Structure 1
Amino acid sequence: MLVGEAMTSPVVTIPPSATVRQAIRVLHEHDVTALPVVDPSGQLIGIVSEMDLLRGEFESDPRAFARPRNAPSAPVARTVEKVMTRGVRTARPTTDVAELAEMMVRTRIKSVPVVQGSHVIGVISRRDLIAMLARGDARIRDDVLASLATYAPQARPWQVAVKDGVVELRGRDDANTERIVEVLARTVPGVTRVLVQPSA
């Protein structure tokens, strides 16, 4: 599966001039964990996450301490530009989801902007990947059959079984058509592996 098939689009972005509190409201309203930061021309210049926005936003409650603490001076409204992460890892719509998922696990990154050139066209998050894996086997099977019927109508009938996202294709055709059938099955959201078993 490719990133373009799993990403969330259209994407919610924010300008670097927005305040931290504005960014927090946008995160909350759209139920996302990170926002790509774009300049006026729409080019990606950073990303701001929940963690970035939480730093320094809460003052200590005096009831939690035996001795009162000095009252802090009036906070200065911070902007997204001051708290965002600039070195952003990105993906392209044609990036393999398996490769991206491995990178996200290794680096503990939760959200990755998807770019075409330097413009953001989507975001893919851990939540998007979990949603793909959560699709039921019956729905995956129906989608595999529909994909074969639409894009490989010349193929001979194939038996399709799905268990825990693993697709088993049973049938026989010429080598080229068998490869097409396997590739089509791999593109269906929720498929984690494809096994091709020749029929007797």
Structure 2
Amino acid sequence: MNAGTVSAVMTADPITVSPQTPFKDIAALLTGNGISAVGVVDKTGALVGVVSEADLLPHLWEDRKPRWRDRRLARKATACVAKDLMTSPAVTVDAEATLATAAAEFARTGVRRLFVLRGGKVAGVLSRRDLVAVFTRGDADLEREITDRVLRDRLDLGPDRVRVQVRAGIVTVVGRVERRSDIDPVTRLIHELPGVVEVRNRLDYVWNDVGSRNSPALPSANSRPGRRRNR
């Protein structure tokens, strides 16, 4: 499981109902489990809609069939089973989508939760609070993951070359890499980790390999003469 994907922070195996589940049973599930919505799945296990607290509230209207209201909401005011109460299609996200993708979907749709699919079937549910919670991760834990999993394992950069410090989720990276093109991957991979607020990349480099193809690689202005090598 990738720590930077939806599957790492979602609530697995969410409560679902069938299209024929009665109104009162849905209300009992929501209140009894302290949740705000249930998924509606058909006989094949496919998600066909969502019933939320908002879908139940029209039953409290004084006028169940007000002419000036939206027809869809008016139908919910007299609905008795999930298939007539649900909002369809449901807003979903893939289990292996990045947290950034999920955050963008929340912003685009304005929904409070996203049902998570894996192979077309419901695997979990993700709330906005689940995403916010990643920023409560401890600095020491985050610093260890950056040092071990990102710098050492993925980029082969030991503490003798690159060091990190994490304070309040802000990551400061210092040191020197061999090539200028090695700098951007450090920032990108650290940014992908859940809990990172900002990356302040202060890496220096020995050789500038970002110029035009025909230009020779030039050492950084800050490089020490003793580090230069003949190519």
TM-score by length of 2: 0.66
Partner Cα distance (1:137, 1:126) in 2: 22
Describe the SS at the equivalent of 1:16.
coil
Q: CA deviation at 1:20?
A: 2.2
Give the aligned partner of residue 47 of structure 1: 50
Partner Cα distance (2:48, 2:190) in 1: 36
Structure with the bigger RCO (C-alpha within 8 Å, sep 6+) is 1
Partner Cα distance (2:34, 2:148) in 1: 32
Q: How does 1:4-153 map to 2 (within 5 A)?
A: 4-57=7-60, 78-148=80-150, 151-152=153-154
Partner Cα distance (1:120, 1:4) in 2: 12
Q: Deviations over 1:81-105 (max 9, x none)?
A: 1111112221112323223313313
8 Å CA contact 2:151, 2:158 repeated in 1? no
Report % sequence identity: 30
Partner Cα distance (1:177, 1:30) in 2: 49
Letter in 2 for 1:15: S
Letter in 1 for 2:163: Q
Partner Cα distance (1:83, 1:16) in 2: 9
8 Å CA contact 2:116, 2:124 repeated in 1? yes
Q: Deviations over 1:5-29 (max 9, x none)?
A: 3322133222222122222222234
Partner Cα distance (1:25, 1:145) in 2: 48
Give the aligned partner of residue 175 of structure 2: 171
Give the aligned partner of residue 166 of structure 2: 162
The structure with the larger Rg is 2
Shift in CA distance, 79/98, structure 1 to aligned 2, threshold 3 Å: same
**Worse-superposed segment, 78-87 or 171-180:** 171-180
Q: CA deviation at 1:112?
A: 0.9
Describe the SS at the equivalent of 1:51.
helix
Shift in CA distance, 29/177, structure 1 to aligned 2, threshold 3 Å: farther
Letter in 2 for 1:33: S
Describe the SS at the equivalent of 1:41.
coil
**Worse-superposed segment, 26-35 or 180-189:** 180-189
TM-score by length of 1: 0.74
Describe the SS at the equivalent of 2:134.
helix
Describe the SS at the equivalent of 1:55.
helix
1:192 to 191, 197, 203: 197
Tell me which protein shows more strand as a share of its residues. 2
Partner Cα distance (2:5, 2:51) in 1: 24
Shift in CA distance, 42/138, structure 1 to aligned 2, threshold 3 Å: same
**Worse-superposed segment, 117-126 or 184-193:** 184-193
Letter in 2 for 1:198: L
Letter in 1 for 2:87: T
Partner Cα distance (1:147, 1:32) in 2: 35
